[in-house]
Structure 1
Amino acid sequence: MQTFTTAAELTGLLSAARRRGQRIGFVPTMGALHRGHATLVRRSVEEQDLTVVSIFVNPTQFTEGADLTAYPRTPEADIALLEASGCHFLYMPGVEDVYPAGTAERLTDRLEFGSLTTRMEGIQRPGHFGGVAQVVHRLLEIVDPHVLYLGQKDYQQVAVIRRMIELIGSRVVVSTVPTVREPDGLALSSRNRLLQPEERRAAGAINGQLAAVVAGLQVGWPARELERIATATMHQLPLLNPEYVEVFDGDTLLPYQDGDPVRELVVATAVRVGRVRLIDNRIVPPAQP
């Protein structure tokens, strides 16, 4: 695996690879890598000729300065995981390399995301998705991949990035990889390592509540009632403080209205476990006839 700290070095090498007809897969990350990231990398390695991973803790997507400071940074372990997963190129830039003109002006401010950024995480973390769109747009300029690999756990983020790619007319294909989970169902996340032992045990109940909502939807229970029950149940569990439980249309992210035809039905939640904020979601399988 080759490591680059500047866009100029990386883009020159990737341009040559494209001229040779090689296909490029890209996995953007903020580091603190885990098995979920490894799954994304391995998928790209299996499907593309070259795989690029970026590790960049993007300051523009953090709405709380404390979150940026506290975000875990484990570069040595990250490099070892990427090497074991077959990554070809690692891009580990500084802020100045990603944003040579500064962070104030961004093309994505002129893009219209509608309901994709005004609900759920958009309410809880104002400005977050603007920062996400900004950094992914810039990284796509640098890497110019054929396929962008993203994890399902950040469902709303994936929806925003898909819309951004559509609006800017990019040809990159988005491949969404299912969430990787711990044995108790907790979605793998870099934030999990910030949990205290008793908080980690409590967090396992989050997936159980999402699974209960999925089961209820499959037998026709009202979506709003299922949201209410899951929220109330988590409030009663030790150390869990849910911010929302939402059942929504996967294309618009608008609340699902019982009986409406949708391409993909999703339930998502954000829960504070102690001081750590976790998000998760489940896609509802079609009801069996």
Structure 2
Amino acid sequence: MIICTTAAELNERLAGARKEGQRIGFVPTMGALHRGHMALIRASVTSCELTVASIFVNPTQFNEASDLSAYPRTPRADEELLIAHGCDFLYRPDVADIYPNGDQESAAAELDFGSLTERMEGAHRPGHFAGVAQVVSRLLDIVKPRVLFLGQKDYQQVAVIRSMVRQLDLPVMIEVVETVREVDGLALSSRNRRLGPQERKAAGLINRQLSAVAAGLLAGWDPEKLETAAMDAMQRHPLLNPEYVEVFTGHNLLPYRGGPAAAEIVVACAVHCGPVRLIDNRIAIPSNP
């Protein structure tokens, strides 16, 4: 695996592959890699001739300085995982290389995401998706991949990035890889390693409640009552503090309140478990063909 720390170096390394028309897959990450990230790497290695991963803890998508400073960083372990799973290039830049003109400049600054950012993470983390669109648009401009691989766990983020790609007319396909979970159903996350033993045990309740909401939706139960029941169940646990549980339609992320739906129906949540904020989702009803 070749490690590049600047956009110029990466572009020089990839110039030949681009000229030959090789299919380049790209997996953007913030490091502290785990099996979920490796599922994205495997998907890229399987379908692309070259795989590029990036590790960059983007300061513009963090709402709190404490969250940014606490984000886990494991550079040596990350390299070993990427090598073991067949990654060809690692782009590991500093802030100045990503934002050479300062972090106020963004190709996505004037984009309108409409209802995609009005609720859930958009409401609870103001400015978060502006930072996501900013860094992903910049990374796509640097890497210029044929395929961008993203994880389903960040469902709302995937929707925003899809919209950004359409609005900027970027020549990249997006492949979404299913969430990888622990035995008890907890979605893999870099933040999970900050959970203490009791917190980790408590976090398993998150998936159980999402699964219960998904089962209730399939049975035709009232979405609002299911949301309330899941919130109440998690609030009763002394180590869990849920911010939201929301049932929505996949195409516009607006609340789903029952009846037939052409788009997939999803339930998502954000929950504080001790000092760690976790997000997750379940696709309850797949899209109609």
Confirm or deny a common fold (TM above 0.5): yes
User: TM-score category by the smaller chain?
Assistant: over 0.9
TM-score, normalised with respect to structure 1: 0.98
5+ residue gaps, structure 2, are none
TM-score, normalised with respect to structure 2: 0.98
5+ residue gaps, structure 1, are none
Deviation at 1:117, TM superposition (A): 1.1
- State the partner residue of 1:281: 281
- 3-state SS in 1 of match to 2:148: strand
1:200 and 2:217 aligned? no
1:28 and 2:28 aligned? yes
Deviations 1:95-154 (A, max 9, x none): 000110010121212000011111100111000000000000000000000000000000
- State the partner residue of 1:2: 2
Deviations 1:33-58 (A, max 9, x none): 00000110011000000000000000
**What is the CA–CA distance in structure 2 between the aligned matches of 1:21 and 1:172, rounded to whole Å?**
14
Change (3 A) 1:60 1:286: closer
- State the partner residue of 1:230: 230
**What is the CA–CA distance in structure 2 between the aligned matches of 1:105 and 1:2, rounded to whole Å?**
29
Q: Which letter maps to 2:9?
A: E
Q: Which letter maps to 2:281?
A: N
- State the partner residue of 2:52: 52
Deviations 1:26-79 (A, max 9, x none): 000000000000110011000000000000000000010000000000000000
**What is the CA–CA distance in structure 2 between the aligned matches of 1:285 and 1:249, rounded to whole Å?**
9
- State the partner residue of 1:241: 241
Deviation at 1:238, TM superposition (A): 2.9
Structure 1 segment 125-274 matched on structure 2, within 5 A: 125-274=125-274
- State the partner residue of 2:83: 83
Do the aligned partners of 1:60 and 1:128 also contact (CA within 8 Å) in 2? yes
**What is the CA–CA distance in structure 2 between the aligned matches of 1:102 and 1:260, rounded to whole Å?**
47
1:63 and 2:50 aligned? no
Out of 11-20 and 94-103, give the one that drifted further: 11-20
Deviation at 1:237, TM superposition (A): 1.8
Do the aligned partners of 1:194 and 1:276 also contact (CA within 8 Å) in 2? yes
**What is the CA–CA distance in structure 2 between the aligned matches of 1:192 and 1:35, rounded to whole Å?**
12
Do the aligned partners of 2:243 and 2:272 also contact (CA within 8 Å) in 1? yes
Deviation at 1:244, TM superposition (A): 0.4
Taking every aligned residue pair, what percent have the same amino acid on both sides? 64
- 3-state SS in 2 of match to 1:109: coil
- 3-state SS in 2 of match to 1:26: strand
Q: Number of aligned residue pairs: give it.
A: 288
RMSD of aligned alpha carbons: 1.2
